[in-house]
């Protein structure tokens, strides 16, 4: 499912990014690669705030819709 | 301030690192006052250079733009990596945030791939320890093959050690050998072998780095080597190797990024113990990002900043204004030639004009200072987060809120502040719409006039003009997004740095740099503008000789010539001329109209009240609110857009919009009153 729908407080693993070269490049530099664990600190309203590789990143709704995750058990 | 203390022999150091790692503090620690800020040629990216001098060690230090990566993603990244490739600094000091070591090492790896001589400054060690992270710097050194120095930049801890290591590695080449997984290495080595056969390319570039970049599909690097000897063969090989790689490992760029991150993870497993938790930061975020409280808190912070800027700078502003008035009056008559005398020292001469502009410099500096504190504290990213949803609706990025707010103080720093917006189109829209925000100078004129015309409602009238400006920003932004800068605002991605106490020293240095920089850069435009207006004011329209009466001067002739255009708005020629004067600095409109109507500045409002209806005057205020930016803002727009075309566009659309809105005020106003 898209990262944008990840409920607040839950964790997931990135499975892929469906976007242009630029977006992939940008997100890769910030540590968002397939297989990475993310946790949603805030979601639902406007941009989403996640924790990834020990940092906090805010992603706009549009971006968060292009990042696909699998909720970890 | 001079960089000329460089002796024959010195070390060339480049600072590299992610944003928010404390790079500026390290730079200030090393260079002190011996620094210089400018622009990279042809780019809107800051170029900071400085000199370190202690004992017999001299070093030239360049602060590369803060980046997360060294791809061709942004101007900053290209500037940083081109410097490393072509200027080949002796040592690169890579500043790493100890709290955030995993993501930071991603950049480090790319520096090492380039074959750069890296020394790592592991910064924020105090915060890392406090949050429970333990980093074994010795074993990190071993793993990476480059020196690692723990530092706490605000307390200057580790700086001497850092310099020591830099000097040491400047004379010997460190041989860091990062090797990724065999599946990846096989492709890198295959391409590297082919690249090595071209002597020309090897001379300039590190072949391993070129191989990695080409596999990543970096078009900038591709363009660089295409024309070189042996470039064509390499390019044709690249696509073959990439095809093979793709069928085995998927997208090569993602596979390489993956390889970097997995090597980072395996190194960190040996080096780092404990997981960082920063409870204070969590708590602050809970409050500051609250669904209901977030925006009110944000507005309060902004209000406080503007208050600070206006109140803190007022005495200095007044002093500068008075000083120039005094100098002008004092020197009047000194040349003995009336034309020159009036041009230089007269009421609308160059000195007084400079005074009017300079008297805004303290306000501009105060805004820079406050902005720098806000930026360093980590709140800026949160503000962008809070506002992103609303701003996106009109096609602006969340970060645009910062320059918009600065514009309330002064549009000049606001135009420069658009640099925090990474996407070019987003930034252009932000620059072009910013002058519509009512600045402090316009407020001077509006408060005086509103008082006389609207009495008890003066405050509401001024507020309505503020709101009109903001609404117009949104309207124009939407239109620009649908026409000239098609598309949506670029994807919003921003890092939330850990909150920290901002450095007063960094803020002071930045305030000074920015304040003086804009004057150096905009100076020519300002002087030309002042000169033109000055000459027009002291040259008689009929005889083209000197006149001391602006009513007979060229400027009035121009005002009268434009009368047919502005007559539908109910203006007389004096209002036109006053608006032209407003081009220098908006608060001059007040003094200029006083002079043209032959009354003192105290009586001008009541004089106007006797000549114009409230609706007519409100229309004029709307016009002044929206028409051309002042000279200094135009200078800033020229500098930041890098184009006369867009600068002229900003001026032209402003006038047209102002005219239309003024006209609408009259139509609607009279219809309502009938």
Burial class (CB in 10 A: 0-12, 13-18, 19+), B290: middle
Res. B135: pLDDT tops 90: yes
Q: Count of A–B CB contacts within 8 Å?
A: 103
Residue of chain B whose alpha carbon sits nearest to that of A43: B291
Give dist(CA B247, CA B249) in Å, integer: 6
**Model ipTM?**
0.92
A65 close to B (CB below 8 A): no
What is the average per-residue pLDDT within B500-526? Answer: 75
| B589 has a pLDDT exceeding 90 | no
Mean pLDDT to the nearest integer, B262-273: 92
Q: Is A39 on the interface with B (CB under 8 A)?
A: no
Q: Please give the pLDDT value at position B54.
A: 87
A55 and B496 in contact by Cβ < 8 A?
Answer: yes
pLDDT of B1 reads: 42
Q: Which residue of A has its CA nearest to B98?
A: A54
- Which tens digit of pLDDT belongs to each residue from B144-166? 999 999 999 988 999 999 999 99
Q: Which residues of B touch A60 (CB under 8 A)?
A: 388, 392, 398, 491-493
Q: Which numeric CATH code is attached to B182-273?
A: 1.10.287.1770
Domain assignments of chain A as residue spans, ordered by start: 3-71
pLDDT at residue A13, rounded to an integer:
95
Which of A26, A45, A54 lies nearest to residue B276, judging by beta carbons?
A54
Which is more confident, B285 or B44? B285
The 10s digit of each residue's pLDDT in B316-350 is: 878 887 888 888 888 887 887 888 887 888 777 77
User: If residue B345 lies in a helix (H) or strand (E), which one and from where to where?
Assistant: helix B338-345
Asked whether residue B315 carries a pLDDT value surpassing 80, the answer given is yes
Residues of A within 8 A of B96 (CB-CB) are none
The pLDDT of B597-625, averaged and rounded, is 84
Give the whole-number percent of chain B exceeding pLDDT 70: 95
Distance of CA B657 to the CA centre of its chain: 26
Report the C-alpha gap between B631 and B230 in whole angstroms. Answer: 52
Please indicate whether, in this complex, the C-beta atoms of A60 and B492 are within 8 angstroms of each other. yes
Mean pLDDT over all residues of chain B? Answer: 85
Mean pLDDT of B395-415: 83
Domain A3-71 has CATH 2.30.30.90: yes
pLDDT tens digits, B635-652: 889 988 988 999 999 999
Asked whether residue B525 carries a pLDDT value surpassing 80, the answer given is no
- Extract the tokens encoding B238: 């690249």
B666 pLDDT band (50/70/90 cuts)?
very high
For the domain B11-171, what is the CATH superfamily, name and number? P-loop containing nucleotide triphosphate hydrolases (3.40.50.300)
**CB neighbour burial string for B69-87, b if at least 16 within 10 angstroms, e if fewer:** bbbbbbbbbbbbbebbbee
Residues A22-66 have pLDDT tens digits of 888 889 889 899 999 999 988 877 789 999 988 899 998 889 999
Condensed to tens digits (0 to 9), the pLDDT of residues B355-372 reads 777 777 787 788 788 878
Is the model more confident about B515 or about B76? B76
Q: Which of A21, A55, A63 is nearest residue B495 as measured by Cβ atoms?
A: A55
**What is the SS3 assignment for B212-273?**
HHHHCCCHHHHHHHHCCCCHHHHHHHHHHHHHHHHHHHCCHHHHHHHHHHHHHHHHHHHHEE
Report how far residue B456's alpha carbon sits from residue B53's, in angstroms, rounded to the nearest whole number.
62
- Evaluate if residue B174 carries a pLDDT over 80: no
State the pairing for strand pair B57-63/B272-273: unpaired
């Amino acid at each position: 499912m898209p990262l944008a729908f990840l409920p607040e407080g839950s964790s997931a693993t990135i499975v892929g990014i469906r976007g242009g070269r630029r977006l992939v490049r940008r997100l890769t530099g910030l540590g968002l690669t397939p297989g990475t664990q993310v946790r949603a600190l805030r979601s639902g309203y406007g941009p989403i705030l996640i924790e990834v590789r020990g940092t906090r990143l805010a992603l706009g709704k549009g971006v968060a819709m292009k990042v696909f995750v699998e909720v970890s058990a | 301030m001079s960089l000329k203390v460089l002796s024959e022999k010195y070390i060339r150091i480049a600072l590299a690192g992610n944003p928010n790692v404390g790079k500026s503090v390290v730079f200030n620690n090393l260079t002190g006052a011996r620094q210089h800020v400018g622009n990279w040629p042809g780019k809107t990216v800051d170029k900071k250079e400085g000199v370190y001098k202690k004992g017999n060690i001299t070093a030239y230090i360049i602060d590369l733009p803060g980046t997360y990566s060294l791809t061709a993603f942004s101007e900053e990244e290209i500037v940083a990596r081109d410097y490393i490739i072509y200027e080949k600094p002796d040592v690169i000091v890579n500043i790493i945030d100890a709290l955030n070591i995993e993501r930071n090492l991603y950049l480090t790896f790319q520096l090492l791939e380039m074959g750069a001589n890296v020394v790592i400054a592991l910064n924020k060690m105090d915060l890392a320890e406090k949050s429970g992270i333990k980093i074994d710097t010795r074993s990190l050194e071993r793993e990476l093959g480059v020196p690692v120095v723990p530092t706490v930049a605000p307390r200057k801890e580790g700086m001497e050690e850092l310099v020591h290591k830099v000097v040491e590695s400047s004379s010997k080449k460190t041989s860091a050998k990062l090797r990724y997984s065999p599946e990846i290495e096989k492709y890198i080595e295959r391409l590297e072998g082919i690249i090595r056969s071209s002597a020309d390319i090897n001379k300039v570039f590190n072949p391993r780095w070129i191989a990695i970049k080409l596999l990543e599909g970096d078009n900038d690097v591709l363009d660089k080597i295409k024309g070189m000897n042996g470039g064509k063969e390499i390019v044709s090989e690249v696509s073959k190797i990439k095809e093979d790689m793709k069928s085995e490992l998927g997208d090569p760029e993602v596979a390489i990024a993956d390889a970097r991150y997995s090597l980072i993870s395996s190194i960190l497993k040996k080096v780092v113990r404990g997981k960082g938790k920063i409870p204070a930061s969590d708590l602050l975020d809970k409050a500051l990002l609250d669904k209901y409280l977030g925006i009110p808190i944000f507005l309060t912070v902004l209000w406080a900043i503007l208050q600070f800027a206006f109140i803190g700078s007022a005495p200095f502003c007044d002093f500068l204004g008075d000083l120039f008035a005094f100098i002008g009056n004092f020197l009047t008559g000194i040349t003995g030639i009336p034309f020159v005398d009036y041009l230089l020292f007269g009421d609308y001469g160059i000195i007084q004009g400079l005074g009017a502009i300079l008297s805004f410099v303290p306000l501009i500096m105060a805004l820079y200072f406050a902005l720098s504190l806000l930026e360093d504290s980590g709140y800026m990213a949160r503000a962008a987060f809070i506002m992103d949803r609303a701003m996106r609706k009109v096609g602006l990025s969340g970060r645009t809120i910062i320059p918009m707010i600065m514009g309330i103080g002064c549009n000049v720093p606001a135009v420069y502040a658009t640099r925090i917006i990474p996407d070019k189109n987003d930034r252009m829209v932000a620059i072009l719409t910013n002058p519509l925000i009512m600045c402090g100078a316009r407020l001077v004129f509006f408060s005086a006039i509103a008082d006389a015309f609207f009495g008890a409602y003066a405050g509401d009238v001024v507020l309505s003009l503020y709101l009109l400006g903001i609404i117009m920003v949104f309207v124009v932004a939407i239109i620009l997004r649908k026409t000239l800068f098609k598309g949506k605002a670029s994807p919003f991605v921003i890092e939330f740095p850990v909150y920290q106490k901002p450095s007063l020293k960094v803020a002071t240095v930045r305030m000074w740099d920015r304040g003086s920089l804009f004057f150096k850069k905009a100076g020519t435009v300002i002087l030309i503008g002042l000169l033109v207006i000055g000459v027009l004011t002291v040259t008689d329209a009929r005889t083209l000789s000197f006149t001391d009466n602006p009513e007979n001067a060229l400027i009035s002739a121009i005002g009268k010539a434009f009368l047919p255009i502005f007559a539908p708005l109910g203006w007389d020629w004096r209002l036109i001329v006053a608006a032209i004067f407003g081009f220098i600095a908006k608060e001059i409109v007040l003094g200029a109209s006083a002079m043209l109507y032959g009354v003192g500045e105290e009586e001008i409002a009541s004089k106007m009240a006797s000549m114009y209806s409230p609706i007519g005057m409100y229309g004029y205020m709307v016009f002044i609110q929206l028409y051309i930016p002042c000279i200094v803002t135009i200078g800033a727009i020229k500098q930041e857009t890098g184009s006369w075309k867009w600068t002229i566009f900003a001026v032209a659309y402003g006038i047209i919009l102002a005219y239309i809105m003024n006209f609408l005020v009259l139509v609607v106003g009279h219809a309502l009153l009938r």
